[in-house]
Amino acid sequence: MTPQHKKSPRSKVNLWQMFMLLLVFAPIYATAQNRTMTKAQSRAKMEALKKLEQNYGISYYLDKYDLAIVLKDELYGVVTLDGRTVVPLEYGYASYEHQADLFILFKEGSGVGCIDRNGKVVIPFEYSSEYLGVEVNYFNNGLMAVERKGKYGIIDKTGRVVVPYIYDNRIDICNAGKELMYVISENYDTTWLLRFNGDTVMGPMNEMYTVAKGLIYVKKDTLCGIYNIDGKEIIPIQYDGAVMLDDGRVMVHKNGVGYGVLDSDGHTLVPCSENRWKGEHSFIIKSGLVVNYRNDKCGILDFNGNVIIPHGDRFFYGDTKERIALVDENYRMEIYDIKGNLLEHFETTYSFDENVYSGLPVSRNGKWGFVDKNLNLVIQPRYKELYQIDDEHCSVLLDDGQRAIVDFNGKILVKGPYDSFENLCDGIYRADGFVLNGKDAKKKYISGLIDLYGQTTFSNEELTAMQKNLSQKK
């Protein structure tokens, strides 16, 4: 689905103003690396991870390099899979740069700095900790915004100053293409387009973001247009809204005049008309149909304004060239074909904020299934619970109380008396459960590792005890 078309049912924001955060600040999530391990290799890795967990709390495991960010006595460090120390446990916070070339660390009394995978300090600990946050990818194309003595600038992965400390307010970096970046103010109301050497191409503008290869949406005050990456005007800043369509056309809007369509060079294909797609907001989607909002009700029209799906109390969620999904404020979802025929309906989905992988859990008749990113129902609603644990698998709760890992065909790969699964790395998952502890039958929480071969670090006694607890729950 195209990010700029998502509209949360709990936040009725202006479509022309919502794109920046959705396009620029998509969250980063841990997913499987899809490296194939033999059964023996998977067993050896689980045993090594088990030893690490006995000595530390694993904050994050970097599968690609067999390195783990670990925590002990509220201090962070980095160790290898076999337990060798790379970064000593003496930091108050630890994260990593996207390629895992550098670890971003905070040291009390010193500040933020970076250490590489060999344990060498690359960026000294002299920067403010203001930017610290959980699961933040600090570097963007090898650049990081930093603060020094109340001024903000940009450094690269060697610590070299790329943009001098000239900004008075906090800034963020976003990718704008090869050798280009956006620098965005703390309140997201001012944006500059810069080259990697620090030269300014455009700005300041109220908004800028990439809409197609070599083309940038630009907003100045209340009006917008389209520029190229060299700062040349393609579509003048004279419209109240402009949306780049998948086929390269641009849909524009003028208050009091209506909607029209331009080509990517700015030539008029369809003049603006107040009678075209009347309503509060409209935009064209992949199929060439038009999402149209009237009185906060969403409908789907064809290019000539004919109704394909009648207006109703719901919101556009996503589309493919053949399918359209609409969701109401209670997260009920309907999926239609482009002729307006209802294909699927679901009683509820998860909150959009939880849709962090490649599809969406859906519920019907009290059972959960899964819709993939192409809006196909790939796992029929048959499970008591379902959540996605990596790019290829979901965790489901079976009717007998056992929990299983299934692929996107619904095939059960692993099951057992577990309470939950969490992806750790490359086909290995952390599992947990409860056992009855002693004569008083109090429950005791235990955790271990399991792989897609069904191998586990739980002992037979622990598995038996968890199964017994599950049986008693019934």
In the block, tokens 């933020």 appear at 112
Under CATH, to which class is 155-239 assigned?
A: mainly beta
CA distances from 315 to 291, 369, 373 (A): 9, 21, 18
Instruction: Fill in the amino acid letter for 143.
Output: L
Q: Which two three-digit tokens encode residue 417? A: 């008396």
CA distance 250 to 238: 14
pLDDT score, position 197: 78
Token code pair at residue 343: 């294909």
- Host H or E run for residue 86: strand 85-91
46 contact partners, CB below 8 Å, separation of at least 6 = 428, 449, 451, 455, 456, 457
In angstroms, how far is CA 13 from the centroid of its own chain?
20
Nearest to 129 by CA among 154, 157, 148: 148
Q: Tell me if 176 sits within 8 A of 182, measured CB to CB.
A: yes
* Ranges of the chain whose pLDDT falls below 70: 1-35, 98-99, 129-138, 175-177, 186, 275, 351-357, 437-441, 474
Secondary element (H or E) of residue 95: strand 93-96
Nearest to 463 by CA among 438, 439, 435: 435
Q: Which residues pair with 345 in a beta bridge?
A: 334
Q: Alpha helix (H) ranges present in 6-59? A: 19-24, 39-55
Query: To which residue do tokens 């001012």 refer?
Result: 190
How far apart are the two ends of the chain, measured CA to CA in Å? 41
CA distance to 62, 116, 193, 363, per residue, from 426 (Å): 10, 23, 38, 29
- Given a contact cutoff of 8 angstroms between Cβ atoms, the answer to whether 106 and 92 are in contact is yes
Question: What is the residue whose two structure tokens read 């103010």?
Answer: 185
Residue 352 has a pLDDT of 54
Entry pTM: 0.74
Retrieve residue 362's tokens. Answer: 């859906």
Beta bridge partners of 180: 195
Within 49-190, strands assigned E span 57-62, 67-72, 75-80, 85-91, 93-96, 102-107, 111-116, 121-127, 143-148, 151-156, 161-167, 171-175, 180-185
Alpha-carbon distance of 142 to 128, in angstroms, equals 19
Sequence-distant (6+) residues with CB within 8 A of 68 are 49, 52, 56, 58, 59, 60, 61, 62, 78, 79, 80, 81
Yes or no: say if 201 and 190 are a contact pair by the CB < 8 Å rule. no
pLDDT of residue 25: 32
Residue 333 · residue 327 · CB < 8 Å: yes
347-474 folds as Lipocalin (2.40.128)
Whose tokens are 């969250």? That residue is: 27
Bridge partner residues of 383 (DSSP):
368
Residue 16: what pLDDT? 31
Q: Find residue 57's DSSP bridge partners.
A: 71
In Å, how far are 109, 133, 170 from 165, measured between CA atoms? 22, 22, 11
CATH 2.40.128 domain position(s) in the chain: 347-474
pLDDT at 376: 94
User: Cα separation of 326 and 336, whole Å?
Assistant: 8
Residues 6+ apart with CB under 8 A from 61: 49, 67, 68, 69, 424, 425
Helices and strands (DSSP H and E) totals, the chain: 3, 42
Residue intervals of the chain classified under CATH 2.40.10 are: 155-239
The 8-class DSSP code of residue 408 comes to: T
Query: Using an 8 Å Cβ cutoff, are 202 and 192 in contact?
Result: yes
Left, alpha or beta for 263 (phi > 0: left; psi -120 to 50: alpha)?
Answer: beta
DSSP letter for each residue of 346-369: ESEE--GGG--SSEEEEEETTEEE
DSSP H helices, 290-421, are: none
Q: How many residues does the chain have?
A: 474
How far, in Å, CA of 330 to CA of 82, rounded?
49
Cis omega (within 30 of 0) for bond into 204: yes
